[in-house]
């Protein structure tokens, strides 16, 4: 039996499709998973199945059990605010796949940004949404026990983004290695791990967060840094000051929601992580695909290296970020 047939059988067993023909329509853009859209009697759904080998140039292996972590994150986030994550309909027995409700009429935030439709207030809503999940799960023993995913987070985030660069940069290696160790050691709140514009839908009610495969109980500063990194990279690529404004709005809104620890300490950690992630998107295992211009790469690389060696809190970092170095 093929994998597709197994997926369809799983959907039938879950009562999501009938005995007639079922079409798995592939959706594009999946680096870490196969994604299909399926028409069902109850409306369209999305099926995801994690891949053991990610679709990148360098070898990048990751445990497929991360599908279960994503399901748990989506359900936990909906418990905080039902509008910020899609409803999980079923977990399937093949390859840790699962089905969730398809949300029509909700563009991907990345596509909106790339098209120059930059909504600064929406960026603030993203910051609010991230902070809400962190606040609800901070210092929560039940959440910590539900996400014992250190190995998965290391494979998907710490190794390819921080330690891979450290292995290829002798000057920065001590700083990046120490940063990786600190990130791994902190257990503060439930972390999504991939808060990127490509994983956020723009709905009438605000942001909807997807693709929580990297979810772990760890340092909430990572989510803030990861999303901010994407906005700053796109500011360089598009040369649009509104993306700088969006980054400021996201950080400002997030800071307003911090009630579980000292805000200044978290913002400094987020600034350190942002600098490292910026460099990783030029020199790591997963480079930003749209940064092909050598001038853009230099603008990111030079600023990131300086910030790694002389860290700034993330609010100062975004305020001072230059779209070019000309």
Query: Does residue 90 sit in the same domain as residue 225?
Result: no
For residue 219, being part of any structural domain is answered with yes
Query: Does residue 137 sit in the same domain as residue 248?
Result: yes
pLDDT tens digits along 293-312: 999 999 999 999 999 999 99
User: At 65, which CATH number?
Assistant: 3.30.200.20
The angle at the Cα of 79, spanning 7 to 34, to the nearest 5 degrees, equals 25
42 CB neighbour count, 10 Å cutoff: 11
| Backbone angles phi and psi of 211, in degrees to 5 | 55, 60
Query: Does residue 68 sit in the same domain as residue 172?
Result: no
H or E, element range at 117: none
Whole-number average pLDDT of the chain: 89
307 CB neighbour count, 10 Å cutoff: 21
pTM of the entire predicted model: 0.89
2 CB neighbour count, 10 Å cutoff: 7
226 CB neighbour count, 10 Å cutoff: 23
Query: Does residue 83 sit in the same domain as residue 43?
Result: yes
Query: Does residue 160 sit in the same domain as residue 86?
Result: no
pLDDT tens digits along 131-179: 999 999 999 999 999 999 898 899 889 999 999 999 999 999 999 999 9
Query: Does residue 37 sit in the same domain as residue 184?
Result: no
Query: Does residue 96 sit in the same domain as residue 113?
Result: no
For residue 114, being part of any structural domain is answered with yes
User: Among 42, 73, 101, which residue terminates a domain?
Assistant: 101
For residue 326, being part of any structural domain is answered with no
- The 8-class DSSP code of residue 209 comes to E
35 pairs with which residues across the strands? 48
- In the predicted structure, residue 190 carries a pLDDT above the cut 60: yes
User: Among 101, 128, 158, which residue terminates a domain?
Assistant: 101
Domain count for the chain, please give it: 2
For residue 48, being part of any structural domain is answered with yes
For residue 119, being part of any structural domain is answered with yes
Range of the domain at 60: 3-101
Task: Strands of 31-188 (E only): list them.
Answer: 33-38, 45-50, 88-91, 98-101
**191 and 222 in contact (C-beta within 8 Å)?**
yes
User: Among 64, 82, 101, which residue terminates a domain?
Assistant: 101
């Amino acid at each position: 039996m093929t994998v597709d047939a197994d997926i369809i059988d799983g959907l039938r067993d879950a009562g999501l499709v009938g005995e007639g023909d079922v079409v798995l329509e592939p959706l594009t853009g999946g680096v870490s998973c196969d994604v299909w859209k399926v028409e069902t009697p109850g409306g369209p759904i999305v099926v995801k199945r994690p891949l053991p080998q990610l679709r990148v140039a360098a070898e990048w292996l990751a445990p497929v059990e991360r599908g279960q972590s994503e399901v748990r994150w989506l359900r936990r986030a909906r418990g905080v605010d039902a509008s910020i994550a899609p409803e999980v309909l079923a977990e399937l027995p093949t390859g840790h796949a699962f089905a969730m409700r398809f949300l029509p009429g909700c563009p991907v935030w990345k596509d909106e940004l790339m098209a120059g439709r930059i909504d600064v207030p929406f960026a603030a809503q993203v910051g609010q949404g991230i902070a809400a999940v962190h606040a609800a799960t901070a210092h929560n023993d039940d959440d910590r026990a539900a996400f014992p995913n250190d190995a998965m987070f290391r494979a998907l985030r710490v190794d390819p983004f921080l330690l891979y660069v450290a292995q290829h940069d002798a000057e920065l290696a001590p700083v990046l290695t120490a940063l990786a160790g600190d990130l791994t050691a902190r257990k503060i709140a439930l972390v999504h791990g991939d808060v990127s514009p490509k994983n956020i839908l723009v709905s009438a009610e605000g942001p909807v967060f997807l693709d929580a495969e990297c979810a772990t109980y760890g340092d909430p500063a990572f989510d803030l840094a990861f999303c901010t990194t994407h906005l700053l990279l796109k500011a360089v690529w598009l040369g649009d000051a509104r993306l700088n404004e969006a980054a400021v709005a996201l950080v400002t809104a997030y800071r307003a929601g911090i009630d579980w620890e000292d805000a200044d300490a978290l913002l400094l950690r987020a600034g350190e992580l942002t600098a490292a992630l910026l460099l990783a998107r030029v020199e790591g295992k997963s480079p930003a695909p749209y940064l092909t211009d050598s001038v853009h790469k230099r603008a990111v690389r030079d600023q990131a290296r300086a910030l790694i060696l002389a860290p700034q809190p993330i609010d100062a970092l975004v305020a001072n970020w230059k779209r070019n170095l000309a």
